Every structure is written in structure tokens, then in C-alpha cells.
Structure 1
């Protein structure tokens, strides 16, 4: 798997907060315990994209988690626009046409495209309800294989599927895992989870952690302990 120079880069703190002021305050509280932040729908649509650019100018890494999926031209041009933010990662859904368009849109920039296989809030019943005939594990493997063929930089999947995904994408692409919960933390709406240590042992490159950090009395301490556990 790709090696990282700074072990803090393995932890991505999910800034799933209501506004930029709250996100700025949290980043300041965490300080140098974390170097990588995720901005999704909630914050992204409340000024978070400009905030991501500011974080990048400060030397921090950002993960824009918008899970793009549309006709090819729309995805390509959207990715091209987002590539100017200085972000490190951007997500798209792992549909072949979408992935190929995203790769074209990111060409020539430093932006890495991650493909979301199956949302970690989905279990077998959820997948069946959504109309998928394949079991979750098989669907993840199929989409990971298609992502590698499309030239995607990495995969977002549950830690439970990390070993099979690694087999599909090879050693040089990234695996990024949401649904990570330190031992004893609430699962929230995640159904397929692991602890940070278990995720690292499974060959995960980056773990995404939100509420266990953002809701903690001492978010800096929780971030430090997660990094230490993965190390």
C-alpha cells in the first residue's frame, strides 16, 4: 500500500458541522493533532468549499466528499472546477461512466479521485431494497475492479471489505474507510464498522472519523489516541 510520511495523515477528521465558524473552531481545538479534514454535503453547501481552499492554503489536507454522479460531461466539468480548490481527495460514485469522466476532469491537477463503492450505512437488506441483486461484498468487489480499470486513485469502502478490495485494485491505489469507531464509541448510523487499529491491520490507508472526535469533550486528545492506535 502507499506509504505516508506523517502518521497523522492516516486520520481524516470529518467536519460534519452546520457552519464554517463551528468547523474553524474545531480545527483550532484539534491543532496539530490532525492534518487532514473531510468536508461533505452539510458543511460544503454552507460555505465549506471556500473553507477547504483556506485549509489547503494553510498546508492542511482536505477531502471533498460530494459523491458526484451525473452524465459524463457534467461530472468532468464539475471535477475540473473543484480541482482548483487545492483539495487532496474528491469522491464520486463508482459507476464506470462517472469514474472515467472524473479522471478526465482531474487530469493535470493534484486532485485524487476516490470512488465510493457501497455506502457504509448499507447492509444486505438496504442493498436489496435499493434494487441491487448482488450481495454487498460482491457489489463492492465489482465496483472496485471497475474503478481500477477506470484509473481511479483509490476506493472508499467499509473496512470489512478492505482485504477483498485490495485484491481487486492492487497495492498502489488507496483505500479510505469511513465508519471507523474507537472501541466503546457509539455506532451512530454506521452498520459496517471497525476500530482504528483493526482498520490499519486490514491494510487501510486512511480512516475517516467524525462524531467520536467532533462530539468529544477533548477532540484533540481523541485524535491523538486514534493516530497512536493506528501507529
Structure 2
């Protein structure tokens, strides 16, 4: 049930907020244009409505200010949610990146890097290139609800990825100690690399969310030749990373 809600969270939020927004917009327009007809809701007149929203209109009506304030509040929340949606809803890349795009994307060669895993051992990506396919996923933070669900989804599908000849690697900016605690609590059975300072995240140019304030949640699949063949990003639908990635790796040789 929780998974179903999370998978449809944007639709739930949009519908849930749209209802009171449209209700108060209707009340506001009827007051502003001094009518009780529902037709005003579809009539293409907006000047006085906009003036009223920004406080540039004075109307002698007992409910005007209260209705205006409610309408204004719901409108602001809805617009912010739209911004979140376009920033958080996710993306999939299966075709080669544009030559002018400097981010690591489909067709890019995996850059060399070394980081410490949750056990404090140095892990060099060069040591596994050519031996098996790689799945590298960047996540924001150990222990957060979304990151825990994502890590556990990869854990639960570990054997399937192994059968497909794919090694799973998680990367985030927390310390080795934080990774060890996170891995132990959730029985993580693959490397979690500590990218303190976000050097590797910056190397990949992983897209951030919410105007750059939240580290992005992005998954990369790399073939045995060290070439990126798939990129998927979704901040909210954390468990979808494992699902989508598994479908891709099963098609790799």
C-alpha cells in the first residue's frame, strides 16, 4: 500500500491540492467580478483577478480578504509543487549524449576514481572495468527514508544483478563510519563508497534537485568496455532505480 502511494505521489498531490485551489479560485472570481454564475470560471478575463491576488484591488465584500488569502496560499503551494515536480520527477537516458554536454551520460567513458568502501578499504573502479558490467548509483544520504528503500531494493535484487554479470556500487558523501552503520543496519551486501567532498559526484556532474540544494539520486549502468549505456534519475521514486536497472542489465552481454 505504501509503495503504491509513493509510486503515485505526484498524482495524489496534484489532485489533492487542485480541488481546494479551484474551489477558492471560483469563489474569488465570483466576488471580484460580482457574479454568482459558474460561467465566470471559464470566462477569459484575468486582469482584476491578478490585481486582486497581488493586493491591488479593493472590494467591499465581507469574505473578500479571507477568500483571497486562501486562494493565494493554495496557488503559491501549487506553483511550488509544479517546480518540485519538474525538478524531482526523474529522467531516463538511453541514447548517446550531445557532444556539448560535459556530464557523464550514455556513450561516455567511465572516468577513473578510487574511494573507500564501508570497511575502510580503497576501492579502485579500474580494478573491475572489463570484468563485469557495473551499476553505480549516487544517493543523497545514509539513513534517509528514500535512500534506505533504494539501497534495500538493490540488496533484494542482488542475486539477479549477479546473474546478469553486474556489480552494484552505491556512492554518497557520508563518511566510511556512516556507510558502515547504514550497511550493517540494512544488511547491504555490496560496496558503499564514501565520497566525502563529493569529488566523484562532481566528476560525473550528477544533476542536483531543488535548485541545487539536494544531491541528485541517479543510477548509471556501465558495460564491460567501460561505456555508460543507461542513466536514470528520480529523486522521489527511489525503488524504481533497481527495477529499471535490472531490465537493462538483463539485456547486456
Quick check: which one's helix share is greater? 1
Larger Rg: 2
Compute the TM-score of the two structures, normalised by the length of structure 1: 0.32
Could you state the TM-score of these two structures normalised by the residue count of structure 2? 0.29
